[in-house]
Amino acid sequence: MFESAEVGRSVDKIEYAKRVSVLRTRLLKAQHALAGTSLRLVVIVGGVEGGGKTEVARRFLDWLDPRGLRVESYGDPSDEEDERPEYWRYWRTLPSSGRGAVLVGSWYTRPIVRRAFKQIGSGAFDQALDRAMAFEAMLIREKTVMVKLWLHLSKKGQKRRFKELESDRDTAWRVTKQDWEFSKKYDRFREVCERALTKTSVAEAPWTVIEATDRRYRDLAAGEAVLAAIEGALKRASAPAPKPASDRSKPPKVSVLSRLDLTKRLADDHAKKFEKQQTRVALLSRLLRDEGRSLICAFEGVDAAGKGGAIRRLLGAIDVRNARVMAVAAPTDEERAHPYLWRFWRNLPRLGHATIYDRTWYGRVLVERVEGFCAVEDWKRAYAEITAFEAELAEAGTIVCKFWLQISPEEQLRRFKDRVKTPFKQYKITEDDWRNRGKWDAYQAAAIDMIEKTSAPDAPWTLIEAEDKRWARLHVMKTVADRLEEELG
Amino acid sequence: MFESAEVGRSVDKIEYAKRVSVLRTRLLKAQHALAGTSLRLVVIVGGVEGGGKTEVARRFLDWLDPRGLRVESYGDPSDEEDERPEYWRYWRTLPSSGRGAVLVGSWYTRPIVRRAFKQIGSGAFDQALDRAMAFEAMLIREKTVMVKLWLHLSKKGQKRRFKELESDRDTAWRVTKQDWEFSKKYDRFREVCERALTKTSVAEAPWTVIEATDRRYRDLAAGEAVLAAIEGALKRASAPAPKPASDRSKPPKVSVLSRLDLTKRLADDHAKKFEKQQTRVALLSRLLRDEGRSLICAFEGVDAAGKGGAIRRLLGAIDVRNARVMAVAAPTDEERAHPYLWRFWRNLPRLGHATIYDRTWYGRVLVERVEGFCAVEDWKRAYAEITAFEAELAEAGTIVCKFWLQISPEEQLRRFKDRVKTPFKQYKITEDDWRNRGKWDAYQAAAIDMIEKTSAPDAPWTLIEAEDKRWARLHVMKTVADRLEEELG
């Protein structure tokens, strides 16, 4: 992979001046056009130490309008970053629509360094690369112009560069001990990087390997790669997107939902049973903070399935200072200017907290699918993205409980009527609720698909027979208690 | 102040049940009405240890819809919080319009504890209280329903409460060593708290002191105080706000701006001089990170005054990995749902960084004043709020440089015409620019007021003669270099 970046490419001053002048005008124009679209630009500048990653980033700030472009570099994670999944820091620095980011270092840095020093095996390394690719695939589907630049120097070239920097008083500080240490491991790094680049150079997000010996050649090549990517994306984006269609699938006759026994009722001694489970949750949830774990309880179900009531009971068992209820409603304009899952990532609490979601990220494969709020391919890819999201949560120490509350259409009607009648419940019922009711089958079909496609050992769905509210609340509470017991202490 | 909260108030079970039933319905209704307005709710629950702050917070989550209400408590600051001004953590947890927050502990906690243990003197204590009051005054002007509850127990009452909690296996954990330690200092705390409450109980944000011996009385009193506050605010908010008017002040004949000598030009040896200053900035700005300081350079000036060019040069001198350019444009909807300065607070970088603002928080007293985008009282109070904001930045280690770039109307016209003619500059000129030009005098008058009212020793304005771009860029660079030299190393 790197051989073709060791052939001695260079550009002389005159040619450079000529090409830069054209390049800058086109880059500015392209950036300005991008600012008016829903596209964002993400440029990864990776490469060997001494290749000039920071210099290239600076060049982009020179050539483009710095007000629409941000350079991000990732040092040691802060404690707030340490208390969230690994990718949180990348999510939180994603540019919004119309803007760009140049990343000096990226999600590749940590796996490469760890693999080079044999802190992880090749299996873990490949997993890390798979995660990077999945993240990038998501970004691209979410309208990101993704450019991956790799600045290469040969072993000799790197040494020469370090010595050259060290010989100048003004640049000597840029060569660190770590640089020399890494340089001693040049061959090992080369091998690991080659593996990384080969595996992750896919058609939709290829690496551009740039020979970095000659600075003029390097900068021009970097700039031209970015220009080509933006111009290409703008051309593709000008084609009108097809209008998303609503989904009217029918649920299968027999399914995980049809098999639920909605006649389940709680006997009269329910209060005692409930209290017992509530106390278990209260005692166990106190351990979250000490053990550096988090809890997420996610609730889905048709309107009036009893999510609110179950949530209130659960909340009642958890220390309010570490608990939060998140109601998922329409996204804000900032959220709309980012990939779908961004609005959940941005609100992820630190370790020690419990978060209860009244509706969740599954909105993508439920309401958005049924109502046609997003394209078919968007909700279809969401299953994998959500599964990956929850796996990252679990890996970072979050206990994920997901509940589907199931009621019959007849029970829903009874509850709607009750809401209409009861003054302090009236605000809970809207026209949307009646409208959604008309699409009962489509919502059931979507729920069945969701449950089947997104159950995972560390983020399982619990299906709750919710025709009897007390039965539902007890079983939600017991499930949470059991999960906490299993995971803590 | 506390005597009237030691008279033995209590509520029996029957009365409690009756009053709670009415209270809950009205609270829910009020919260629902609030959700449809631009008002937000902030409830501080303060008070002595053992008074039941957390229990009261829980009660609010029970009685109100927890999806619109969040409990915040403030433990030790995280490292990210430590690297920003003290109030950053309060700004970042402010609820948006239509939502509410119950704060268990608040901006009062730290000053009170520090004063009680004599870590600060009475002067510093009063300053901290002044800051709290200024913050609350701002919140209230920015449509916050502010409720300040203080749960009081007598000395004996507190001891009794601790013993009662300790005697029950389920609640014993809630009494900590610190509680007993604080309890030994009861009299000292009482004195300090009395001072705090007396000083900060102002008409617009009074403290409600609640006798916390009887839990039923306490919870009812807390709930009723919140209800009264929301209902009162809703009533006031229903009066239509007067339409803000644009401002057409004339600048005085002689002013800080008229006294500038716009004929200043740079001699031909400018390149060398400029390079010298740029190198100074490059070397000095590297110290920011080591010394745990930040740099903010804020640029204001009429359209085409040369802000962009000066910013590019300055950016060229700073390590791109620690530098960022922020262009201030129209607020997003999330920003609109928060107090004016929130959008600047939310983006404050950690220590070690340099941020260059192309237009700033001064938009409030420039464009918003002139164009009538906000009410007169809003931009009038902004001077004090901005001065306080910059003082907090300086206190937290930020070096604040503010530049006003001054050109003549004739020079502006020349530059506009040049932009129209030059292909790659055309995107820089819009209809707004021509329109604003027609209001030259009003903008000058606003700028003069701004400069006079917001110059402070640790956040001074530097007025730059910008008729000659090279002169302007050199003097910006030199000013930054001088400030860095003064503050660092």
B28 contacts in chain A (CB < 8 Å) = 424, 427
Please say whether the beta carbons of A470 and A266 come within 8 A: yes
Instruction: Find all residues with CB under 8 Å of B440, minimum gap 6, and list them.
Output: B302, B409
Instruction: Locate B318 and state its tokens.
Output: 């700073």
Query: In the structure, what pLDDT confidence band is assigned to residue B121 with cuts at 50, 70 and 90?
Result: very high
Query: In the structure, what pLDDT confidence band is assigned to residue B428 with cuts at 50, 70 and 90?
Result: confident
User: Tell me, what's the pLDDT at B425?
Assistant: 77
User: Is residue A67 less than 8 Å (CB to CB) from chain B?
Assistant: yes
- Asked whether this complex has an ipTM greater than 0.95, the answer is no
**Arithmetic mean of pLDDT, B48-59:** 95
Please say whether the beta carbons of A339 and A71 come within 8 A: no
**Unique residue bearing structure tokens 């709290």:** B132
**Arithmetic mean of pLDDT, B52-61:** 96
- The lowest-confidence range among A329-338, B122-131, B264-273, B436-445 is B264-273
What are residue A324's DSSP bridge partners? Answer: A355
Q: What is the pLDDT of residues B199-253, one digit of tens each?
A: 999 999 999 999 999 999 999 999 999 999 999 999 998 888 778 889 999 999 9
Tell me what percent of the residues of chain B surpass a pLDDT of 70.
100
Q: Does domain B270-487 have CATH number 3.40.50.300?
A: yes
User: Tell me, what's the pLDDT at A172?
Assistant: 86
Please name the residues between 29 and 58 in chain A that touch chain B, using a CB distance below 8 Å.
Answer: 29, 32, 54, 57-58
B324 contacts in chain A (CB < 8 Å) = 70-71
Q: Measure in Å the smallest separation between the Cα of A239 and chain B Cα atoms.
A: 24
Report the C-alpha gap between B312 and B290 in whole angstroms: 24
Interface contact flag, A70 B28, Cβ < 8 Å: no
User: Tell me, what's the pLDDT at A100?
Assistant: 98
Mean pLDDT value across chain B: 94
Instruction: Locate A23 and state its tokens.
Output: 């390049």
Interface contact flag, B312 A62, Cβ < 8 Å: yes
The alpha carbons of chain B give a radius of gyration, in whole angstroms, of 27
User: Is residue B442 less than 8 Å (CB to CB) from chain A?
Assistant: no
Please say whether the beta carbons of B129 and B200 come within 8 A: yes
Report the C-alpha gap between A184 and A217 in whole angstroms: 26
- For chain B, first and last CA: distance in Å? 49
Say if residue B427's pLDDT is above 80: no
Please name the residues between 310 and 369 in chain A that touch chain B, using a CB distance below 8 Å.
Answer: 311-312, 315-316, 319-321, 323-327, 332-334, 350, 358
Interface contact flag, A67 B350, Cβ < 8 Å: no
Residue extents of the structural domains in chain B: 3-237, 270-487
> Which of A67, A82, A318, A335 is the best mutation test for B, with the most CBs of B within 10 A?
A67
Amino acid making up residue B169? R
B327 contacts in chain A (CB < 8 Å) = 67-68
Q: What is the pLDDT of residues B58-85, one digit of tens each?
A: 999 999 999 999 999 998 899 999 999 9
Of B104, B321, B427, the CB nearest to A73: B321
Containing H/E element for B137?
Answer: helix B122-141
Report the C-alpha gap between B56 and B149 in whole angstroms: 10
Query: In the structure, what pLDDT confidence band is assigned to residue B40 with cuts at 50, 70 and 90?
Result: very high
B57 contacts in chain A (CB < 8 Å) = 320-321
User: Tell me, what's the pLDDT at B173?
Assistant: 83
Say if residue B148's pLDDT is above 80: yes
Report the C-alpha gap between A475 and A463 in whole angstroms: 10
Q: What is the pLDDT of residues B410-421, one digit of tens each?
A: 999 999 999 998
Q: What is the pLDDT of residues B249-286, one digit of tens each?
A: 999 999 999 999 999 888 777 889 999 999 999 999 99
User: Tell me, what's the pLDDT at A427?
Assistant: 75
Interface contact flag, B104 A173, Cβ < 8 Å: no
> Which of A106, A321, A322 is the best mutation test for B, with the most CBs of B within 10 A?
A321
Chain-centre distance for alpha carbon B26? 32
Helix (H, G, I), strand (E, B) or coil at B127: helix
User: Tell me, what's the pLDDT at B429?
Assistant: 84
Interface contact flag, A66 B315, Cβ < 8 Å: yes
User: Tell me, what's the pLDDT at B243?
Assistant: 81
- Positive or negative, the Cα torsion across B318, B320, B325, B331? negative
Q: Measure in Å the smallest separation between the Cα of A249 and chain B Cα atoms.
A: 31
Q: In this structure, what DSSP letter does residue B359 have?
A: S
Q: Does domain A3-237 have CATH number 3.40.50.300?
A: yes
User: Is residue B25 less than 8 Å (CB to CB) from chain A?
Assistant: yes
Please say whether the beta carbons of A181 and A117 come within 8 A: no
Backbone dihedral region of B352: left (phi > 0), alpha (psi from -120 to 50 degrees) or beta?
A: left
User: Is residue A169 less than 8 Å (CB to CB) from chain B?
Assistant: no
User: Is residue A168 less than 8 Å (CB to CB) from chain B?
Assistant: no
User: Tell me, what's the pLDDT at A122?
Assistant: 95
Please say whether the beta carbons of A75 and A178 come within 8 A: no
Of A321, A326, A423, the CB nearest to B73: A321
Interface contact flag, A325 B66, Cβ < 8 Å: yes
Q: Measure in Å the smallest separation between the Cα of B263 and chain A Cα atoms.
A: 29
Q: What is the pLDDT of residues B78-115, one digit of tens each?
A: 999 999 999 999 999 999 999 999 999 999 999 999 99
- Give the chain B residue nearest A328 (alpha carbons): B67
Q: Phi then psi for A482, rounded to 5 degrees?
A: -65, -45
pLDDT along chain A (489 residues), means of 10: 90 96 95 96 96 96 94 92 95 96 96 96 96 96 97 95 90 87 93 96 94 97 98 90 86 93 86 93 94 97 96 94 92 95 94 96 96 94 96 96 97 94 79 90 97 95 96 97 94
User: Tell me, what's the pLDDT at A190?
Assistant: 96
Report the C-alpha gap between B175 and B162 in whole angstroms: 6
- Give the chain B residue nearest A326 (alpha carbons): B67
